[in-house]
Amino acid sequence: MTPKSLSCALVLAAAMASGGIVQAADIKVLASNSVRTMLEDVAPRFARASGHTITLAFATSAQVARRVQAGETADVVLITPEEIDTLIGRRLVASGSRVDVARSLMGLAVRAGAPHPDIGTAEALKRVLIAARTVTFSDPATGAASGVHTVRIFERLGIADEMKPKYRLGDGTTSGRIVASGEAELAIWQISAIKAVSGIELVGPLPAELQFITYLSAGLGASATAPDAARAFIGFFKSPEAAAAMKTRGLEPGGGL
């Protein structure tokens, strides 16, 4: 069986396990920015295999959680497990529906064509940050975990005050464009997000001692209008096609808390 036919079989098996798909449905997905390009690849594959359509919307995990808590509905929510569990506790995501999908590491990016500095150790990264005139990362005020962690990196390296004048903060989606436009020399961001932006290049992951792993989990919206189709879509993340798409876009399949 080819990978494609296996993926189709998995879709159909998931659909049957959840009670069967009677007619095509429109599945609304609210997801973290860090899985955007993966979903933009995986969703059309699932749509072709199942006959359903997928509507995607993105923000930081914290912003997605706030939107759901404010009354916005979705068939599938794909954010950090902590936020999913909060929504389950508030009965906004179905109990028992959480599936750990992937994990994402943080990295450093530069404008396309710029030299790639050595960031193999904490001291090497510190030298690069001190030498840089500007740096962008997601504004911690948005709730972006990567932005909060970046500030902690500066504090740990003892350069927090020195870095503040260099900030060119992004909103959770714009850090790559800020570097591509030349507004900032460096971006500290999720690797999966870096790979989604043209005009910038990944230098590499942050050193292990400064690394931050974001786990991503999916859950079924408690008010899902197409719950069977949504469960089938969540099941599709276990397919070889989805796993390949994740790896290509800087994600590690399966989560693994």
- Choice between 17 and 37, residue whose per-residue pLDDT is larger: 37
The pLDDT value recorded for residue 164 is 96
pTM score, two decimals? Answer: 0.75
Residue of 114, 176, 183 whose CA lies nearest to 146: 176
Q: Which fold has domain 106-210?
A: D-Maltodextrin-Binding Protein; domain 2 (3.40.190)
Domain ranges of the chain: 3-103+214-253, 106-210
Q: Is 106-210 in the same CATH topology as 3-103+214-253?
A: yes
The pLDDT value recorded for residue 127 is 98
Could you tell me the pLDDT band of residue 192, with boundaries at 50, 70 and 90? confident
- The pLDDT of 5-21, averaged and rounded, is 47
Type of residue at 180: A
- Choice between 158 and 3, residue whose per-residue pLDDT is larger: 158
The pLDDT value recorded for residue 97 is 96
Q: What is the pLDDT of residues 42-89, one digit of tens each?
A: 999 999 999 999 999 998 888 999 999 999 999 999 999 999 999 999
- Choice between 19 and 25, residue whose per-residue pLDDT is larger: 25
Q: What is the 3-state secondary structure (H, E, C) of the chain?
A: CCHHHHHHHHHHHHHHHCCCCCCCCEEEEEEEHHHHHHHHHHHHHHHHHHCCEEEEEEECHHHHHHHHHCCCCCCEEEECHHHHHHHHHCCCECCCCCEEEEEECEEEEEECCCCCCCCCCHHHHHHHHHHCCCEECECHHHCCHHHHHHHHHHHHHCCHHHHHHHECCECCCCHHHHHHCCCCCEEEEEHHHHCCCCCEEEEEECCHHHCCCEEEEEEEECCCCCHHHHHHHHHHCCCHHHHHHHHHCCEEECCCC
Q: What is the pLDDT of residues 85-131, one digit of tens each?
A: 999 999 999 999 999 999 989 999 999 999 999 999 999 999 999 99
- Choice between 21 and 205, residue whose per-residue pLDDT is larger: 205
The pLDDT value recorded for residue 20 is 46
Domain 3-103+214-253 sits in which CATH superfamily?
Answer: Periplasmic binding protein-like II (3.40.190.10)
The pLDDT value recorded for residue 69 is 97
Could you tell me the pLDDT band of residue 255, with boundaries at 50, 70 and 90? low
The pLDDT value recorded for residue 21 is 43
**% residues pLDDT > 90 (the chain):** 74
Could you tell me the pLDDT band of residue 37, with boundaries at 50, 70 and 90? confident
The pLDDT value recorded for residue 59 is 87
